[in-house]
Structure 1
Amino acid sequence: MGHVKKEILIGILVSLFATFSGFFIYLEYISDLSFSETIYKIRQGGVLGSVIALAAIPNLFVFWVFLKKRQDNRAKGVLITTIAIALFTVVLKIF
């Protein structure tokens, strides 16, 4: 059972890395401002949830790769992270 948990954790970590990479790349190409200024403007504009949701798009590719390689437990980790990000964006939009 420990092997399954390890594989799911690897999927979660890869998914988080893909999301943070997507977030960073999105901010670098969308804004001429510095990273911290862009974050401030996004939070001020109330679109942080939308930006995070867009940043999670690379998870689709990661999920697909894990499924193609028959690494189902890693794909489960990606799915868990993606659902958590979706719930987080809903919370950000509500509050």
Structure 2
Amino acid sequence: MKKIDLLYGVLIGIVTAALGVYLYMEFVTDYTIEEGFYILKSQGQLGKLIALGAILNLGVFFLLLKLDKEMMARGVVFATLLLTILTLFA
């Protein structure tokens, strides 16, 4: 059961980061999601956008620790590491 909790944590981390990217694009910029991705990709700023979206993973990590879901919290950390690698190449 612990391996499935790790997978759930990874999925939670990726969805949370995507939600963070969406919220940033919606409330901070004047672009739509599609326009924003194209513009930021052409400017070389897409990695920074992904990093900003991953900030929400910090809150989710501590929430899962408070709920005694250590393996899910590890999955969130793993998802954050995956997003870091993606940021390096974006």
Q: TM-score, normalised by structure 2?
A: 0.93
The percentage of aligned residue pairs carrying the same residue is: 32
Corresponding residue for residue 54 of structure 1: 52
Q: 1:74 aligns with which of 68, 72, 75?
A: 72
Deviation at 1:30, TM superposition (A): 2.1
Whose Rg is larger? Answer: 1
Q: What are structure 1's unaligned runs of at least 5 residues?
A: none
- Whether 2:25 is the aligned partner of 1:27: answer yes
Q: TM-score, normalised by structure 1?
A: 0.89
Aligned residues: 90
Aligned mates of 1:51, 1:34 — CA distance in 2:
14
Q: What are structure 2's unaligned runs of at least 5 residues?
A: none
What letter is aligned with 2:28? I
Aligned mates of 1:60, 1:35 — CA distance in 2:
23
Aligned mates of 2:48, 2:30 — CA distance in 1:
19
Deviation at 1:54, TM superposition (A): 0.5
What letter is aligned with 2:4? K
